[in-house]
Chain A
Amino acid sequence: MSINQSGWKPAIGDTQAPAAATYTGNRALMLEEALIFEIGDTRTTGVDFSPSPLQGRGPGRGEVGASAGDENAPLPTLSPEGERANRLGGLERTASFGLPGLSEPETVRHYTRLSRQNYAIDLGLFPLGSCTMKHNPRLNEKVARMPGFADLHPLQTMDTVQGALGVIHELAHWLKTLTGMPAVAMSPKAGAHGELCGLLAIRSALEARGDARSVILVPESAHGTNPATAAFCGYGVENIPATAEGRVDLAALTARLGPDVAAVMITNPNTCGLFERDMKAISDVVHAAGALVYCDGANFNAIVGRVRPGDLGIDAMHINLHKTFSTPHGGGGPGSGPVVFSAALAPFAPLPFVEKTDAGYVLVEEETAGEHHAQNFGRMTAFHGQMGMFTRALAYIMSHGADGLRQVAEDAVLNANYILRSLDGVLDAPFGASGPCMHEALFADDGLAEGFSTLDIAKGLIDEGYHPMTVYFPLVVHGAMLVEPTETESKAALDQFIGALRSVAERAKAGDAALKSAPHFAPRRRLDETLAARKPVLVWKEPVVAEAAE
């Protein structure tokens, strides 16, 4: 018997022939995925339960648990009558509410397929300026999941959670040490929540001295959360002008200060990627005018271990643990935004906080605060903050240690300057002449071909396999592109990114039409955001089935 070799090693064929559309819409590993509402149904479940003790107690239909595994059984409901009646107060839900379920294999597949439509740090350089998209060490994931942290209820008696309180205390200690500030509030849930915490403490301090004041000064280059927070606290918001080199205009600021100004909010390093050289002088004039200094510490990564903001005279600063201390960004959160305070603001810090006593750690809450923290401004959130982020951040700090943290700042700054200088003459760097940048490099859209914009460069980078940089922020630069490589990139990775950005920028300058319709290779082409906003479809609805047309 001889082997039939026909079809075994077929010729490659015509490689120039265009690809046909596929039946599925999939393109090999680029997999489309329907919505759970289109693939699941309300009778399917991927979780098995043992029967409820009420099973069989009520008459008739829908005995609890009896339906498990039987997809034809009616949806379980409890009967209000019966031997052991339910205690739901007559408010039991009867009608179906349309939550589809999937079996476990279908669920795993659904989310795995979805995940593959995302870009992520794990896939490549993610230079989203102001967001500090650094590597997320997996040790920290492991640590956060230790049952001794992950499986604790926030209201357990303090004797049973000494280790957890110890984590909060230890992390608080390092945050105070790293910033050179005497106090810290750990409960804020993200940067913006931290800003709120800082401004509420400032307002409390001013009110305590009978001088509430009404205005907060914010640079135009500030992140949107700064003015939004100030307004939320009931303040008017006014702009601080910038100098031509991209820093706060000290003279203009000084001129504006007066008895109505409650505080200034300064981001340092600022969102143009520059260190505010005059920070100490700014703090001094602000204090002299009776106001306080809020520092947005979102960019702390550039200076951690090298500069203590406390030495610059600030009164409050939030630290995004999800940036500098690498807790994962999770597709939009959760974050954590502890706020360090100066001695002037410390008495007004919110509840709760952890204190170390001879008898161990105690959580100071409403009950005990009266004794020695009577001026606290209250509580910002239920419970005690983002414990799951604290464990990760503490593991991060310990892993790096004093030498490692300093190296973090140095490498972050080195990488950003390397990108800045490697693109000399390719992209316009509006503050390039202001000296070295800190951890991020800012470019503008000057010199692009007619009709080409920053957006096109961003979309072109997507085809090159990168997440674009932050675009159109800060607002002070036309068509801003804010590139933050972070310290966790190798030189080879930076060189490739620089090459890609140079190539895309050159196409934009040359007016390459293909760039205007980029991305070409992503799971989706450019999406119609105008349509989305004009006719918002925010939830899935069953399609209206057209009547058969006979």
Chain B
Amino acid sequence: MRYLPLTNEDRAAMLARIGASSIDDLFVDVPEAARLSGPIAGLPNHASEMAVERHMAKLARQNLSAGEAPFFLGAGAYKHHVPASVDHLIQRGEFLTAYTPYQPEIAQGTLQMLFEFQTQVARLYGCDVANASMYDGSTACWEAIVMARRVTKRGKALLSSGLHPHYVSVAETMAKFTGDALQTALPTLSAETDAEALLEAIDRDTSCVVVQYPDILGRIADLSAIAARAHEHGALLIAVVTEPVALGALKAPGDMGADIVVGEGQSIGVGLQFGGPYVGLFACQERFVRQMPGRLCGETVDAEGKRGFVLTLSTREQHIRREKATSNICTNSGLCALAFSIHMTLLGERGLRDLAMLNHGLAVQAAETLAAVPGVELVNDSFFNEFTLKLSKEARPVVRDLAERGILAGVSLGRLYPGADALAHGLIVAVTETTTSEDIAALAAGLKEALA
């Protein structure tokens, strides 16, 4: 077997050194009844690289990949072009096959990268500090809600109706067990966000207000007033960003008063990958650092006074604090954080702004084109690279219909909010730098036919 270097002679020599007569002697502590006698049911014996590749390629071919079709899906995962050098660099064995940098003297590569990543995320979000990554945007969002409870000692969280429904579901799942009270609502198909309603709802029991920016329908609302009201009442504002590219064009949530900013980093460097692995970004203002979940990398010096980096403030973490830790997270999204950081370094501020403008410009063009299709109405006044259309028909069958014609038209609100009749005609359309004018024309033509 190509991955196993021991030969039978090696095995025999090693058993002799150990003083065992057979490999079974090493498994003596496994009770007889628990030993599997035969082979694993149904699993063939080892296979060649070629055979495995063939099997996997066959499965891969049974999918319609984003690059093969006019493609408009977003809603928390976005198709962006990732420069070739990103994927090359993350496959360097020294990054790919290392682990959590527990031994800093031989992990400065990962540690310096994390320090750079933390700084990039903090600056992008307009926050003082950021951690070394969470699993994804949805778990980062939940961890932020828990952190707000620790900071405020209150348990009522107000979730904007514009928060991604999966993020809401994750928070609801966890709240069932922690006893947090979550206030949630369904979004409405209108240009207005629920900012006004949230302002009204904040009170002295509120731990945090959670607002997505831009929201699930693509709408953009100023966070300043919510931040001010939250702070008046001793609550925190948590901003959630599912599309980091938007922050190349939009004011950062931290600069509008958000205390904690979390989000999904997938757009930068990571790729769609059918939903994972992604990378959760987590940033906050300095005063909350000791309540943060997850790993933090910090600067220090070595015995010769040279600058170096280490994991730090680990007294927050499970391996030191056990049941008193701020989170149970251990393995995070290291390699995706690296991909994010490399892509962000390639872009730089100029590139990110160019990318954002290109996304926005194409989205504006698409919105105008699509809104001109009979039976299509643009819901948004404001948007970045994603907006919601109200169709004259239920959107979900339309999306299926268009998929059959080779157009991946967007995410229907019926998929995201099954059973919510008032939303059934909504279609979220995302447009990125990968979208061409031909793609937009194809979608317009497809919608025209499907809605006729």
Contacts and interface: CB of A to CB of B under 8 A. Distances in A.
A370 to B, nearest CB: 10
B335 A539 contact: no
B355 interface: yes
A426 interface: no
Is the interface on chain A under 10, 10 to 19, 20 to 34, or 35 or more residues? 35 or more
A548 interface: no
B34 A227 contact: no
Contacts of B411: 155
A536 to B, nearest CB: 5
Given A46-B347, A101-B347, A532 B312 contact: yes
A89 interface: yes
A478 interface: no
Contacts of A192: 318, 328-331
Interface string B118-148: 1110111010111011011111000000100
Nearest to B38: A402
A436 interface: yes
Given A54-B357, A148-B65, A190-B330, A331 B335 contact: yes
Contacts of A458: 103
B303 A523 contact: no
Contacts of B197: none
Contacts of A128: 99, 102
B79 A118 contact: no
A527 B197 CA distance: 51
Given A112-B89, A274-B29, A402 B350 contact: no
B283 to A, nearest CB: 9
A135 B384 CA distance: 43
Nearest to A461: B103
Contact of B272 (A33, A150, A403, A539): A150
Nearest to B135: A189
Contacts of B106: 117-119, 462, 467, 519, 522-523
A411 interface: yes
Given A54-B364, A385-B275, A408-B4, A101 B105 contact: no
B201 interface: no
A537 B299 contact: yes
Contacts of B94: 115-120, 122-123
Interface residues of B, number: 218
Interface in B302-317: 302-304, 306, 308-310, 312-315, 317
Nearest to A121: B97
Interface stretch (A161-169, A248-256, A445-453): A161-169
Interface string A119-150: 11111001010010101110101111111111
Contacts of A61: none
B295 interface: yes
Given A91-B251, A332-B99, A332-B100, A161 B52 contact: no
A122 B94 CA distance: 7
Given A117-B109, A154-B274, A76 B169 contact: no
Interface string A319-350: 01010000011111111100000000000001
Nearest to B130: A539
B95 A533 contact: no
A303 interface: yes
10 contacts: A33-B112, A111-B89, A111-B95, A111-B342, A120-B95, A148-B57, A153-B66, A154-B276, A163-B61, A379-B173
Given A88-B249, A233-B177, A527-B301, 16 more contacts: A104-B85, A118-B109, A122-B97, A142-B53, A149-B274, A164-B59, A178-B40, A189-B276, A332-B331, A378-B170, A383-B276, A387-B275, A414-B15, A414-B23, A528-B301, A532-B299
